Amino acid sequence: MSHRRRRISRVLLAVLALTIAVGVFTYARRTPTKANELASAAPSQTQPQPTIQTPAPAPAEQHAQTQPQSQPSLATVLPPVVDGALIEPLRQPAPQTPPAPLRTETPGRLGTQTPAPSSTGNNLVAAQQQPSAPKQTAAPVNTAAKTAAPGGSTGTDPAKVTIKPYQAPSGGHTSATAAEALADGRAKMQAGKLLEARDTVNAALVSGKLSGYDADAARALLSEINQTVVFSNRKFADDRFGGTYQVQSGDRLDKIGARNALTSDILLRINGLSDPRRLRSGAYIKILKGPFHAVVSKSAFRLDLYLGGLPGSGSDVSYVTSFRVGLGKDDSTPLGKWQVEPGRKVQNPVYYSPRGEGVIEADDPKNPLGEFWIGLAGLDGDAVGKESYGIHGTIEPDSIGKQSSMGCIRLRNEDVAVVFSALVEGKSTVMVVP
């Protein structure tokens, strides 16, 4: 039995020794790992921790993170008015990569289909807008891209429209009576007496005593004077066809325009404003005594703008400026008196072709109406009962001065933008004379 106990004891001692050896080996391996974890967990006292900086986004990323903004039709920032009537002009945002252009469509009257050709002689039909129905877009429009379209310029910002003084046809000679009035007017203009110069030459013109080249020379000088008197932001407080107005608290440009039979567009232009909301209470702005009226001379292919009324109406009338026009083929533009029809002034019109071309969308290069349509309603003479006539732009500038249209009055795109901003729906009239 003693020999057997000794064998069991030796076995137990061997097992115990093996257990102790395994424990020592395991402990020896774990000790460096714990030391490394403690060293990495403890903050370094000799070296500062590195600063993690997020790299600035690339320009493309900045553009992607920027919310799209609506840009004004005028890409140019206008200077402030000298006398302080306006606050500091808007600053342009930094140039950004524009989004892809999107098409803006002007809907026709609600619930209507493509109109059939008119049976009254003129089949030119522009898109009509309900007063309460704004243009509809699927997404913000790239206005920078639109300015490249004919008249889009303008399209949208009247302050960018450039008025070119009317030029009298060359080769004529003025009579002694006209020469005296023109010399007197030019002398007063050069002396800085612009209102006196205007009144002197205007009286001779609207009296009907001037004709032919005499009248053309008077128009040319008056158009030159009115670049400042009418179309610049220089104010003439004592102008009997205009003046100044002190902005009251709560005033809006459209309300000021309505009280003076003017569009807010023309007030923007003559005050050098790019934003109708930038009015300061107590400031003075330039106004005119509207509405504007127009006379279209078929033989001269000329549209004359007037303030105060039409010549021969018995009212105090002031000639403003003139534009060359294109008229209806085969003498198809009706004579008589027209009114600018309410709800029929359309910017970016859709064209419904009576010649099998279908519907031509707004801003399509093939749209023959250009960027502006001014619908006319006949009041007197041959104009009575006529439908679908109007004043519009053109994609055929060579047709100006010719009989090429289907009866409407065409203007160059830069000129129709001015006429569009001047004529007032329901108040302005257009007289078509031989």
Q: Residue 399 belongs to a domain with what CATH number?
A: 2.40.440.10
Mean pLDDT, rounded, for 278-306 = 96
pLDDT computed for residue 165 by the predictor? 78
Per the listing, tokens 């004709």 go with 211
Q: What is the DSSP letter of 116?
A: P
**Residue 345, domain extent:** 291-433
| Residue 65 within a domain | no
pLDDT computed for residue 175 by the predictor? 87
Q: How many domains does the chain have?
A: 1
Mean pLDDT, rounded, for 42-65 = 41
| Residue 63 within a domain | no
Burial of 355 (0-12, 13-18, 19+ CB in 10 A): exposed
- The predicted-structure confidence for 336-355, as pLDDT tens digits, reads as follows 999 999 999 999 999 988 77
Residue 137 scores a pLDDT above 50: no
| Residue 233 within a domain | no
In whole angstroms, how far apart are CA 96 and each of 67, 144, 149, 153? Answer: 12, 11, 20, 20
- Residue 249 · residue 281 · CB < 8 Å: yes
pLDDT computed for residue 252 by the predictor? 93
| Residue 318 within a domain | yes
- Least confident among 40-49, 66-75, 208-217, 413-422: 66-75
Nearest to 273 by CA among 144, 421, 142: 421
- Residue 384 · residue 376 · CB < 8 Å: no
Nearest to 140 by CA among 101, 192, 92, 184: 101
- Between 332 and 165, the higher pLDDT residue: 332
Nearest to 306 by CA among 289, 286, 326, 325: 289
The chain-wide mean pLDDT, for the chain, equals 75
Mark 130-160 as b/e (b = at least 16 C-beta within 10 Å): eeeeeeeeeeebbbeebbebbbbbbbbbbbb
- The predicted-structure confidence for 66-77, as pLDDT tens digits, reads as follows 344 443 333 332
Residue 290 scores a pLDDT above 60: yes
Rounded to the nearest 10 degrees, the angle between the axes of helix 176-190 and helix 212-229 is 10
| Residue 16 within a domain | no
Q: Give the pLDDT band (50/70/90) at residue 42.
A: very low
Rounded to the nearest 10 degrees, the angle between the axes of helix 212-229 and helix 194-206 is 150
| Residue 151 within a domain | no
Q: Give the pLDDT band (50/70/90) at residue 185.
A: very high
Q: Give the pLDDT band (50/70/90) at residue 213.
A: very high
Calpha distance 287→244 (Å, rounded):
5
| Residue 267 within a domain | no
Calpha distance 22→367 (Å, rounded):
95
| Residue 186 within a domain | no
Q: Is the peptide bond before 342 cis (omega within 30 degrees of 0)?
A: no
Q: Give the pLDDT band (50/70/90) at residue 25.
A: confident
In DSSP notation, 388-431 reads SEEEE--S-GGGTTSEEESSSEEE-HHHHHHHHHH--TTT-EEE
- The predicted-structure confidence for 376-406, as pLDDT tens digits, reads as follows 999 999 999 998 999 999 999 999 999 999 9
pLDDT computed for residue 153 by the predictor? 33
- Between 200 and 178, the higher pLDDT residue: 200
- The predicted-structure confidence for 231-241, as pLDDT tens digits, reads as follows 999 999 999 99
Q: Give the pLDDT band (50/70/90) at residue 1.
A: low
Q: What is the DSSP letter of 101?
A: P
CB neighbour list of residue 156: distance below 8 Å, 6 or more residues apart: 72, 73, 74, 143, 146, 147, 347
- Residue 301 · residue 318 · CB < 8 Å: no
